[in-house]
Amino acid sequence: MPSEVRWLTAQEERVWRGWLTLNARLSATLHRELHDDAGLSMPDFEVLVHLTDSPAGRLRVSDLSRLLQWERSRVSHHVTRMESRRLVQRVECAEDGRGAFVVITPEGRAASEQAAPGHVYTVRRLVFDALSPEEIEALAAIIDKLLAQVDNQPDPLPTH
Amino acid sequence: MPSEVRWLTAQEERVWRGWLTLNARLSATLHRELHDDAGLSMPDFEVLVHLTDSPAGRLRVSDLSRLLQWERSRVSHHVTRMESRRLVQRVECAEDGRGAFVVITPEGRAASEQAAPGHVYTVRRLVFDALSPEEIEALAAIIDKLLAQVDNQPDPLPTH
């Protein structure tokens, strides 16, 4: 860090605060809807989405960790809690020693299918319906740039 | 919800996933830095920022709840934990019956001042340094539109 701090300008401060407020509002709304519709939390739903996107509905903890951008210990703990609710199951993989798979259960698929329409409806209503095609284009470009910038940093996830 | 779900287009899906990933990456990085620099979590820091922004460094739980977009019970629990670490203090306000103030302590101010330079440096480096002035302008407009859209919805915060 340089000795001289370049504090944020008034506009940058407003953008950053707005970003944080927007995220807090969006996640509160999405969390509440998932809970009411299917008894899921937002983290539950994110795990289920990645599993339903995977062939055979299964992923290793290490892959889930990368896709979710969570530390492995958080993934493990969360999977344990979801397992006790029968949404996922851990299946050992004897042949390769690279650790267990997390597999979505029929109950997990049912919960995800129950949650998805309302979730998508809300994302569309709160985000995409408010923006013009040009703004969606601009937002896509900005997000790509910021993801590249963040990916350019040392990996924040511990490897163990 | 309409009976016909308008699923997200490929581009919208990409923007939404990118948004979620970006937020997960940014908060993991910012959280880790705050913790290393000043022993604070991101929620701790957000509480302290709102208190330092307030006259006399104090706010009611209801005002913190609105500013942070957290439910009141979450604010209360979090303030209790921060109180046990001497970062804030609850001060009863006898005269008006509208509940206690949360007041930042000298230790809370010191932690916030210790965390701020590194935090701002990282926000600048990961977000604003990656964007042109035109992109910051576009992002500001998009965030304002989305905040207006979200604020246009029924309040997700319980009033009790």
pLDDT digits (tens, 9 = 90+) for B65-111: 988 888 899 999 999 999 999 999 999 876 666 778 999 999 999 99
What are the tokens at A147?
């993801």
What is the mean pLDDT of the segment spanning B131-159? 84
Using CA coordinates, name the residue in chain A closest to B16.
A123
Residue B159 has pLDDT above 50, yes or no: no
Helix axes B42-53, B72-84, angle to 10 degrees: 90
Say if CB B76 and CB B61 are below 8 A apart.
yes
Type and span of the H or E element at B153: none
For an interface test with B, which of A50, A78, A150 has the most B Cβ atoms less than 10 Å from its Cβ? A150
- The chain-wide mean pLDDT, for chain A, equals 89
Other Cβ atoms within 10 Å of B97 Cβ, number: 6
Phi, psi torsion values for A122, nearest 5 degrees: -70, -40
CB contact under 8 A, B142 and A120: no
Q: A9-45 burial, b for 16+ CB within 10 Å, e for fewer? A: eeebeebbbbbbbbbbbbebbbbbbbeebbebebbbb
Tell me what pLDDT residue B27 has. Answer: 87
pLDDT tens-digit series, residues A67-103: 888 889 999 999 999 999 999 999 987 666 677 899 9
**CA dist list (Å): B108 to A1, B99, B113:** 22, 21, 9
- Nearest CA of chain A to the CA of B97: how many Å? 29
Spell out which residues of chain B touch residue A24, defining contact as CB-CB under 8 Å. 68-70
Q: Count A/B contacts: CB-CB distance under 8 Å.
A: 162
What are the tokens at B93?
């306000």
* Chain Cα centroid distance, residue B18: 20
Spell out which residues of chain A touch residue B71, defining contact as CB-CB under 8 Å. 28
What is the mean pLDDT of the segment spanning B122-139? 95
Q: Which amino acid is at A66?
A: R
What is the mean pLDDT of the segment spanning A53-66? 92
The whole-model pTM stands at: 0.83
Residue B18 has pLDDT above 90, yes or no: yes
What is the mean pLDDT of the segment spanning A102-122? 95
Residue B158 buriedness (CB in 10 A; 0-12 / 13-18 / 19+): exposed
Sign of CA dihedral A9, A11, A16, A17: positive
Tell me what pLDDT residue B1 has. Answer: 52
**Per-residue confidence at A158, pLDDT binned at 50, 70, 90?**
very low
CB contact under 8 A, B153 and A126: yes
For B81, residues 6+ apart whose C-beta sits below 8 A from its C-beta are: none
Q: Nearest to residue B8, comparing CAs of B19, A70, A38, A24?
A: B19
Q: Nearest to residue B42, comparing CAs of B19, B18, B70, B5?
A: B70
- Which among A14, A126, A128 has CB closest to B150? A126
- The chain-wide mean pLDDT, for chain B, equals 89
What is the mean pLDDT of the segment spanning B44-51? 95
Using CA coordinates, name the residue in chain A closest to B120.
A7
- Nearest CA of chain A to the CA of B93: how many Å? 28
Q: Provide Rg for chain A, Cα atoms.
A: 19
Tell me what pLDDT residue A97 has. Answer: 66
**CA dist list (Å): B66 to A30, A127, B37, B75, B124:** 18, 21, 28, 10, 26
d(C-alpha A116, C-alpha A120), whole Å: 6
Q: Which long-range contacts (CB under 8 A, 24 or more apart) does A104-110 make?
A: A104/A48, A104/A51, A104/A52, A104/A57, A104/A58, A108/A48, A108/A51, A108/A82, A109/A48, A109/A52, A109/A57
Tell me what pLDDT residue A52 has. Answer: 95
CB contact under 8 A, B11 and A136: yes
**Per-residue confidence at B128, pLDDT binned at 50, 70, 90?**
very high
At CA B152, angle to CA B148 and CA B156, rounded to 5? Answer: 110
Tell me what pLDDT residue A96 has. Answer: 65
**Per-residue confidence at B151, pLDDT binned at 50, 70, 90?**
confident
Percentage of the residues of chain B whose pLDDT score is greater than 70: 91
